[in-house]
């Protein structure tokens, strides 16, 4: 029996059980009850139409989120497509609906009506903010913008409609040097915290990713819930910034999920390639972001930089890491 198939089947069951299959497509309606939203993360809402039939090798159905500025009649309309570099720069936009008017009714997902992710295209900037909604449907966000090409992702669920992630470009004036590719990076240092990532991304399958938070060499066991979870993970595909919002396995207060040091996610990336991952976590009242670079199993130019994950393995390497 081929391990990847068995593993994929196992994870598919997990994904079905916890609703964590991340993925693509928007076939299933929104989770409208905020109290249950964390127990039914976006897998329920972003799952593929054929979750139950998906094999370990099948590519997810549909188009990943964030690649389009307009989809299903909804359009992410930035007031300005250029900006000066600025700390806490005001960025305003609307989401227009099928009737052409700004949407004013949203479902809450993870305690917020809209999640705005701003990423500089060379991955040197990442912010996850929650803009203010005006009564006329105009959103106002504050983002620290450095010169360069930015991609903004609006992750939201219009009232009575399916969840969407739309993407729009924002050019920030000024000279800049694009950062070189990161190489594989499974350890992040932020504000004295060390966060490690264990797991292997397998295209089209739920892959278990374990993020482990330490501070001063000790495991952090009192992570605080942030937006109803001990961590929020965004994965972006290098090359086109396809957007995947990944959610943790388990939520605070469910009787089985510990507040660290490990936070477990299941992520199904849509293709082979290199991915950047950004983890938001909260401790001592501060939300911090740890960033990682990770190729899919056995495929990437990034992989040789990490001898612990040799390039000659096929997807069978998933077995080596899935048991952690
Ligand atoms: Cu958010």
pLDDT tens track for 216-248? 999 999 999 999 899 999 999 999 999 987 878
> Distance from the CA of 153 to the center of ligand 1, in angstroms?
11
The DSSP bridge pattern shows strands 232-237 and 274-283 to be antiparallel
> Distance from the CA of 141 to the center of ligand 1, in angstroms?
12
The predicted-structure confidence for 152-171, as pLDDT tens digits, reads as follows 999 999 999 999 999 999 99
Q: In angstroms, how far is the first alpha carbon of the chain from the final one?
A: 21
> Distance from the CA of 258 to the center of ligand 1, in angstroms?
22
Backbone angles phi, psi at 246, to 5 degrees: -100, 145
CATH class of 70-172: mainly beta
> Distance from the CA of 9 to the center of ligand 1, in angstroms?
31
d(CA 248, CA 69): 27
The answer, as to whether pTM is greater than 0.85, is no
At a CB cut-off of 8 Å and minimum separation 6, what does 21 contact?
12, 15, 43, 47, 48, 51, 206, 266, 268
Domains of the chain, by residue range, sit at 3-53, 70-172, 187-322
Annotation: CATH topology of 187-322: Immunoglobulin-like (2.60.40)
Domain 70-172 identical in fold to domain 187-322:
yes
Mean pLDDT of 110-122: 95
Q: Specify the residue for token string 């994929």.
A: 8
> Distance from the CA of 151 to the center of ligand 1, in angstroms?
16
> Distance from the CA of 5 to the center of ligand 1, in angstroms?
34
Residue 185, helix vs strand vs coil: strand
pLDDT for 39: 40
pLDDT at 286 over 50: yes
Q: Return the ∠ at Cα 51 (arms to 45 and 56), rounded to 5°.
A: 130
d(CA 67, CA 86): 26
């Amino acid at each position: 029996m081929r391990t990847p198939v068995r593993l994929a089947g196992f994870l598919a069951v997990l994904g079905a059980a916890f609703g964590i299959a991340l993925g693509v497509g928007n076939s299933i309606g929104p989770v409208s009850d905020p109290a249950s939203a964390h127990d039914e993360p976006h897998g329920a809402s972003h799952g593929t139409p054929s979750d139950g039939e998906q094999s370990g090798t099948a590519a997810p159905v549909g188009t990943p989120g964030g690649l389009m500025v307009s989809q299903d009649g909804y359009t992410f309309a930035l007031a300005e497509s250029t900006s000066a570099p600025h700390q806490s720069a005001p960025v305003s936009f609307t989401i227009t609906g099928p009737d052409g008017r700004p949407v004013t009714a949203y479902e809450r997902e993870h305690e917020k009506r809209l999640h705005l992710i701003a990423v500089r295209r060379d991955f040197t900037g990442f912010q996850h903010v929650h803009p203010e909604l005006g009564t006329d449907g105009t959103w106002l966000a504050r983002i620290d913008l450095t010169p360069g090409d930015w991609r903004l992702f609006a992750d939201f669920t219009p009232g009575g409609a399916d969840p969407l992630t739309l993407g729009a470009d924002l050019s920030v004036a000024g000279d800049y040097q694009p950062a070189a590719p990161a190489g594989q990076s499974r350890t992040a240092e932020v504000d004295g915290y060390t966060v490690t990532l264990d797991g292997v991304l397998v295209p089209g399958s739920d892959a278990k990713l374990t993020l482990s938070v330490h501070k001063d060499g000790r495991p952090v066991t009192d992570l605080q819930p942030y937006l109803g979870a001990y961590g929020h993970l965004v994965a972006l595909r290098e090359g086109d910034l396809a957007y995947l919002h990944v959610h943790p396995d388990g939520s605070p207060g469910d009787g089985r999920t510990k507040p660290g040091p490990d936070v477990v996610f299941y992520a199904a990336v849509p293709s082979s390639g290199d991915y950047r991952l950004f983890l938001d976590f909260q401790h001592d009242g501060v939300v911090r972001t740890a960033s990682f670079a990770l190729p899919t199993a056995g495929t990437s130019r990034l992989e040789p930089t990490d001898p612990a994950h040799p390039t000659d393995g096929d997807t069978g390497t998933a077995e080596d890491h899935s048991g952690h």
